[in-house]
Amino acid sequence: MREGGGEGAPPRDLGSRGVRVNLISAGPIETLAANGIPGFDRLATSWRAQAPLGWDTGDPAPVADAACFLLSDLARAISGEILHVDGGFHAMGTALEPVAAEVVSA
């Protein structure tokens, strides 16, 4: 789970101390920070159109709910996982259209 180098694996190294290490990979959410990302509107539009369960970029609740779940005792045996909260888009295994074509041509 560690990106950018470094040694060790946090889930393995911290598990003996009862620390769980997980990651939430969220679909695009409209935030103040997102407003500064060039092309965010196109990304969000494509995501909404392609996510099998649909995706509301203005609703952070599904991501917050996932965080609450991972912090709860219901997830007590879960560590080292990436939880995709994205309306099912990750399961599609495909690039966003037409955003992907624009990125490739840039």
Domains in the chain, please, with CATH?
14-105 (3.40.50.720)
CB 102 within 8 A of CB 42: yes
Q: Judge if pTM exceeds 0.85.
A: no
pLDDT at 22 over 80: yes
Binning pLDDT at 50, 70 and 90, where does residue 35 land? confident
80's CB contacts (< 8 A; 6+ apart) are 1, 9, 11, 12, 21, 22
What was the pLDDT predicted at 102?
A: 56
Task: State the average pLDDT for the chain.
Answer: 86
Neighbours of 51 (CB within 10 A): 20
